[in-house]
Amino acid sequence: MKSYDLLELAVRNLRQSKLRNALTTIGISVGVASLVAMLSLGVGLQQLATRRLAGSGMFDTVFVTSKQDFRGFDREDDQKTEHPEKAPVLDEPARERMAHLPYVTEVEPEVRVMGEVVYDSQTHFGFVTGLPMSARDNEAFDNLQGKFFSGPNVDEVILLNDFAKELEPNDPIHLIGQEVTLRYGERRALPADSDDRPQLSGAQSRSSDSTGGDDFGFSVVRKSQALKVVGIIQEEPYGGMRTVSRGRIFLPVDLTEKLSMAQFTDMRSSLRGGGGKTYITLTVRVKDPGKVAEVQDAINKMGFRTFSVLDATKSLRRFFTVLDLFLGIFGSLALAVATLAIINTLVMAVLERRREIGVMKAIGASDSDVKRLFFAEAGAMGFFGGVLGIGLGFAIGKAINVGTSIYMHRHQLPSEAVWILPPWLIGAAIAFSIVVSLLAGLYPASRAARLDPVQTLKYE
């Protein structure tokens, strides 16, 4: 029998016992709905956790240093590195290469300098930190008052709330939109020495051996920069290795580079001397926390030392796999009950339609035609149950989300979508529902196919 004839007959047969088949289909849909609701909850919770972790900025970041620097901190690493003096330095080409690695979204230097903010003719000391534009996604900015930097290289500043209170004890929010002056040390290359060789850090050429004679260096010059306060945050974003201290004044990282702010680590650069700009630390931002290890590997191969917080998403994924499994099992219970309903419905149908099956065989239906017909009926119930179940599951999920958001709101927390129905789950749930229904149809279908036409026609 052709497939469309099979389906047509199956749907026709299902319509014959409308109530019974509708109830069975609703049973399947409840099963599918509970499975979908549970698995979507698992997916939602996992995405929520991943989002929160990614928001902390801890798990999608690789810190890169040159093996020439910081020797002695990690003995094991030092022993592995045979010739640290030959290791590459973190210069502009290296930064470029890292930026072009797969999954890398951003490569920024870590900037932490001392500064002084002049406001209302008072000076206030604080550490200045450079922030890349991607920091906007950091959870520290969830409660940002005002707004984030309007561009990567603008004369704008964001202040830590504590610091803002220092400037304006009564009404720190009032600072937003105000202009402040930042005093900082500019790193300025030394003018050429009396001898003819170029000797300045940041100058043209470099003789790598520091055997003497080539006196590189820089001076630190006090400079002022007018900045507009655009925002105030409650806590400092996780920004790196925190080599110095908590930052309280945040500038776009490109602006700090443009202003050539002198850093503590510049001392190291000056010892190395030579031309081209070099970095002590680079912060590499990775698209997905799961890819951190891969990026770390690629950078290690380039000859640099890397550091990242252990990928917490790995153990998180393991946890959620187990959670999904259990949610799936609980969700499947209703579907298991529905499976029994399908078997019951079809066995009843076989009993009721004994004569019909006998007639069909007498006029030419093969055993496989009969079997396929019952399979098609089971499959059709599975399909309709699956579609209905998705709708029902979606409604349950929306209710979960609305309920959660009301609960979160009552606790003065921002609402979160804990239930997310991914598109793959829609297809998978319908397919699963069909497969389960077909499995449930196995016994009734083979029972129908085995019916002896002579017997069924004799006794009816």
Partner 1 sequence: MVRTENVCRHYRMGGGVIRAVDGISLTIERGEFVALLGQSGSGKSTLLNLLAGLDRPTSGSVLVQNRDLAKMLLEDLAQYRRNDVGMVFQAFHLIPSMTITENVELPMRFAEVDRAERAQRVRQALEQVGLGHRFEHRPSELSGGEQQRASLARALANRPQLLLADEPTGNLDSRTGEDILNLIHDLSLSLGMTVVMVTHERALAERFAQRLIFLGDGKLLSQEALA
Binding stretches for partner 1 (CB under 8 A) = 1-2, 5, 9, 12, 16, 355-356, 358-369, 453-454, 457, 460
Cβ closest to partner 1, residue 187 vs residue 361: 361
| Distance from C-alpha of 46 to C-alpha of 74, rounded to nearest angstrom | 35
Report in angstroms how near the CB of residue 349 gets to partner 1 at its nearest.
12
Query: Alpha-carbon distance 372 to 366, whole Å?
Result: 10
Identify which of residues 18 and 410 has a Cβ nearer to partner 1 in the complex.
Answer: 18
Phi, psi at residue 201, to the nearest 5°?
-65, 140
Q: Which is nearer to partner 1, 15 or 398 (CB)?
A: 15
Nearest to partner 1 of 123, 366 (CB atom): 366
Q: Which residue, 147 or 450, is less far from partner 1 as judged by CB?
A: 450
Backbone angles phi, psi at 98, to 5 degrees: -65, -40
Burial class (CB in 10 A: 0-12, 13-18, 19+), 1: middle
Judge contact between 247 and 238, C-beta under 8 A. no
Residue with smaller CB distance to partner 1, 349 or 436: 349
| Contact criterion met (CB below 8 Å) for 182 and 255 | no
Tokens of 156: 């704008």
Q: Give me the least distance between CB of 54 and partner 1, in Å please.
A: 57
Q: 9 vs 189, which CB is nearer to partner 1?
A: 9
Tell me how far CA of residue 233 lies from CA of 111, 176, 280, in angstroms: 18, 11, 28
Give the C-alpha separation, 116 to 163, whole Å.
11
Q: Which is nearer to partner 1, 374 or 419 (CB)?
A: 374
Q: Do 216 and 199 touch, CB atoms closer than 8 A?
A: yes
CB of 4 to partner 1, least distance (A): 9
Minimum distance between the CB of residue 28 and partner 1, rounded to whole angstroms? 23
The distance of closest approach from Cβ of residue 314 to partner 1 in the complex, given in angstroms and rounded to an integer, is 54
Nearer to partner 1, 19 or 363 (CB): 363
Q: Of 375, 350, 309, which Cα lies nearest the Cα of 448?
A: 350
For residue 275, the cross-strand partners are 203
Closest approach of Cβ 24 to partner 1, in Å? 18
- For the chain, the first-to-last Cα distance in angstroms comes to 26
Q: Which helix (H) or strand (E) holds 227?
A: strand 218-233
Question: Is the distance from CB of 62 to CB of 284 less than 8 angstroms?
Answer: yes
Handedness of CA 434, 439, 444, 449 (dihedral sign): positive
> What's the DSSP call for residue 375?
H
Q: How far is the CB of 356 from partner 1 (least distance, A)?
A: 5
Q: Which is nearer to partner 1, 15 or 174 (CB)?
A: 15
Residue 355 C-beta: closest distance to partner 1, Å = 7
CA 159, distance to chain mean position in Å, is: 27
Give min distance, CB of 392 to partner 1, in A.
Answer: 30
The structure tokens 């698995």 sit at 39
Name the minimum Å distance from CB 442 to partner 1: 19
Phi-psi region of 384 (alpha: psi -120 to 50; beta: other; left: phi over 0): alpha
Residues 14 and 391 sit within 8 Å (Cβ to Cβ): no
CB 433 within 8 A of CB 393: no
- Dist CA 214 CA 164 (whole Å): 45
In the bound state with partner 1, the residue whose beta carbon lies nearer, of 15 and 147, is: 15
Nearest distance in Å: CB 36, partner 1: 34
